[in-house]
Amino acid sequence: MFYRRFLLLQILVLIGLLSIGCDTKKTVPPPEKLTIGVVSYGEGKVSLDKYNRFKDYIAARTRSIRVDVEPAYNELQAIAQIQRKRWDIVFATPGLAATAIGKELYVPLFSMENVSRRQRSLLIVRNDSPIEKISDLANKTVALGEPGSASGYYLPLYDLYGLTLSQIRFAPTPKTVLEWLSDGTVEAGALSQGDFATYKRQFPDTKFRTIHTSRWIPPGVVLIAPTVELNRQQQIKKIMGEAPADIAADAGYIPGAKLPQYKQFIQLVEKVRPLESAVKNTPAVLIQEKSQPQEQALR
């Protein structure tokens, strides 16, 4: 009996020594990397500067995390990054948010505006154009934004349903829409109220006119990727909620604002998707094929 106990004790000691030896060979894991995605519309450094203090704040509060801010030139590039889960935190415009929440399971953290400050999409023509209403755009060339833009793509497609357009041109930025209108490349174009107010000043020799205003668009939101571990998600949400007001304002989110409801807007985006196969055709026939129920569903 004594011999068996002695042998068992030796085995336990040996196992302990082996485990200690294995632990000493473990490598320290590299610091986590956190990537913040934003849409810069080609504004480059100027657009990214406002996130510098936010980035430094997140890095300091989370300590071990390396934080990078990665810009996308437009919503199309941003969607690709979201689909690949390359962005852990996204400062998402409404169109991106609808895709990220509805299809990629990103989680909303904070509103980027007060809910009362929602936007609308506008259809714009030159002031000297004979076009007065949406139906007048039949067989005309229209500029839309890139897929992923709420005001430049999803809402205009929804409102243009039923028309046959001569061509749809896709503008990489809202400013490009007004450039094309100004030089006569297109006969109408879509962009948000805010972007129109910002960029029309850069075209003092061209007068523009609104022929249609869309329904309201929910504010953009800050999202976090489903690939971020749950405890880390909660930590980041807490840290962002405690950010000094000036840092949060620079980054463009409002910790105390109510999160906007996206269910109806996600449904609208899903109704528009069947039209996407037609938008690059010439002419672009914006009518769903087959049944009347589909047509009624879009409306």
Per-residue pLDDT for 54 more than 60? yes
Q: pLDDT > 90: what percent of the chain?
A: 72
Residue 73 confidence (pLDDT): 84
Per-residue pLDDT for 155 more than 90? yes
- Say which residue, 97 or 9, is predicted with more confidence: 97
Helices first, then strands: H and E counts in the chain: 12, 12
Nearby residues of 216 by Cβ (< 8 Å), 6 or more positions away = 118, 119, 120
State phi, psi for 150 to the nearest 5 degrees: -65, -50
What whole-number distance in Å separates Cα of residue 51 and Cα of residue 9?
60
Average pLDDT over residues 58-75: 88
Per-residue pLDDT for 21 more than 60? no
Best CA proximity match to 150, nearest among 142, 162, 140, 158? 158
Per-residue pLDDT for 5 more than 70? no
Residue 137 confidence (pLDDT): 98
pLDDT digits (tens, 9 = 90+) for 118-144: 789 999 999 999 999 999 999 999 999
Q: Report the chain's mean pLDDT, rounded to a whole number.
A: 86
Contact status, residue 223 vs residue 108, Cβ threshold 8 Å = yes
Residue 63 confidence (pLDDT): 84
Per-residue pLDDT for 232 more than 60? yes
How would you label 3-36 residue by residue, b for 16+ Cβ within 10 Å and e otherwise? Answer: eeeeeeeeeeeeeeeeeeeeeeeeeeeeeeebbb
Average pLDDT over residues 78-89: 95
Per-residue pLDDT for 10 more than 60? no
Give the E-state strand segments of the chain in sequence order: 33-39, 66-72, 89-92, 107-111, 119-126, 141-144, 164-165, 167-170, 188-192, 208-217, 221-224, 284-285
Beta bridge partners of 69: 36
pLDDT digits (tens, 9 = 90+) for 158-195: 999 999 999 999 998 999 999 999 999 999 999 999 99
Residue 152 confidence (pLDDT): 95
Residue 109: band (very low, low, confident or very high) from pLDDT cuts 50, 70, 90: very high
Map out the domains of the chain with their CATH numbers.
33-115+219-261 (3.40.190.10), 119-217+265-298 (3.40.190.10)
What six digits make up the tokens of 13? Answer: 């000691």
Residue 47 confidence (pLDDT): 61
pLDDT digits (tens, 9 = 90+) for 248-298: 999 999 998 999 999 999 999 999 999 988 999 999 999 976 544 444 445
Q: pLDDT > 70: what percent of the chain?
A: 83
Per-residue pLDDT for 89 more than 70? yes
Residue 2 confidence (pLDDT): 44
